[in-house]
Structure 1
Amino acid sequence: MLDRRARQLIDPPLNQIGQGLAQRGFTANGVTLIGLGLGLVAAVFIALGAPVLAIIPLLLGRLADGLDGAVARATQKTDFGGYLDITSDFLFYGAIPAAFVINDPAMNGAAGAFLLTSFYFNGASFLGYAILAEKHGHKTDAQGQKSLYYSNGILEGTETIVFFVLLCLFSAHFAALAWLFGIVCFATAALRIYAAYQIYTD
């Protein structure tokens, strides 16, 4: 829901930084993997019981996730680059809730399982919609120039990053926050499926 506005604010500086990274020899895929690595470091901090410390690598990882596209635009965009980017994103999105469960399975297990299920459902609805949009030749740049169709929704990348930061700051309330966010994830996926039904029913 907030991604379009966020992209309008962050894309110009990201593109400038991305051009500088490309001139220094960085590749888009390399930046993607750096971002994933930082995200997984954040998950390790959380699993070890230091969620506040996890905020720094978490945010740096998300910065790298924005920069990989900027580097690709400054050099060469590839289908594999887009594929690597989205799969890395989903691994990161799953690793953070899993880390909270690992840290305290008794308190966080049920809520974490519900949240991960909602992510799985929402991710499937997102990727399935992208396949339908590609098949019908639909394009969008609402979330910036992407290698696949990005359908909007109640919860998008911006909201998820804010949610993860809140989890790190208020880790004692993980369960309540996870149940609430998971419910909205289910609603996002259900609305996306309804939109696909409206548009792509022959």
Structure 2
Amino acid sequence: MLDAAARKLIDPPLNALGRRIAGFGVSANAVTLAGFALGLGAAAAIWAGAMGLALVLLLASRLADGLDGAIARATRKTDFGGYLDITADFAFYGAVPLAFVLLDPAANGVAGAVLLASFYVNGTSFLGYAILAEKRGMETTAQGSKSLYFSNGLLEGTETILFFVLICLMPGFFAPLAWVFAVLCLVTAASRVLAARQVFSN
């Protein structure tokens, strides 16, 4: 829901920084992998209970996630780069809730499992929509220039990162926050399925 508005704010400085980094010969894929490593580091810090460190690593990871696209636009976008980016994103999105479950299985286990299941359903609705949109030659730049078709929804990348920041700041409230976010994920998936029914039925 917030990605389109957020992109208008963050894309200009990211693109400028991406051009500078590309000038040093750093590839977009290298930045994607660095961001993924930082994201896994954030998950490991959560598991260890070091929430301050986790928050720093998480934010650094998402900065890298924005920079890889900016570097690709400044150099050359590839299908593999887009594939690597979305794969790393989904792995990161799963690692953070899993880390909270591992931190306190008794308190966070059920809520974390439901949240991960909702991520799975929502991700499937997103990727399935992207495949059919590509098949029909559909394009959108609402969430910026992407390798995949990004269908909008109630929850998008911006909301997910804000949720991750919130649970790092308030880890004791992970379970109730996870339940709420899981429901919103399922609502997002359902709305995307309804939209797909309208767009792809013929």
**Pair in the same fold by TM > 0.5:** yes
Identify the residue that residue 122 of structure 1 maps to in structure 2: 122
CA distance in 1, matches of 2:166, 2:11: 24
Alignment RMSD (CA, Å): 0.5
Identify the residue that residue 195 of structure 2 maps to in structure 1: 195
Identify the residue that residue 131 of structure 1 maps to in structure 2: 131
Q: Does 1:147 find its partner at 2:147?
A: yes
Q: Secondary structure at the match of 2:148?
A: coil
Cα deviation code 1:159-187 (max 9, x no counterpart): 00000000001100100000000000000
Identify the residue that residue 59 of structure 1 maps to in structure 2: 59
CA distance in 2, matches of 1:75, 1:49: 39
TM-score, scaled to structure 1: 0.99
CA distance in 2, matches of 1:40, 1:26: 21
TM-score, scaled to structure 2: 0.99
The number of residues matched between the two structures is 202
Identify the residue that residue 36 of structure 1 maps to in structure 2: 36
CA distance in 1, matches of 2:134, 2:197: 15
Cα deviation code 1:77-119 (max 9, x no counterpart): 0000000000000000000000000000011000000000000
Alignment gaps of 5+ in structure 1: none
CA distance in 2, matches of 1:54, 1:93: 14
Residue 51 of structure 1 and its aligned partner are, at CA, apart by 1.8
Alignment gaps of 5+ in structure 2: none
Q: Secondary structure at the match of 2:151?
A: coil
Identify the residue that residue 96 of structure 2 maps to in structure 1: 96
CA distance in 1, matches of 2:50, 2:14: 29
Cα deviation code 1:118-150 (max 9, x no counterpart): 000000000000011111111000010001100
Q: Does 1:173 find its partner at 2:173?
A: yes
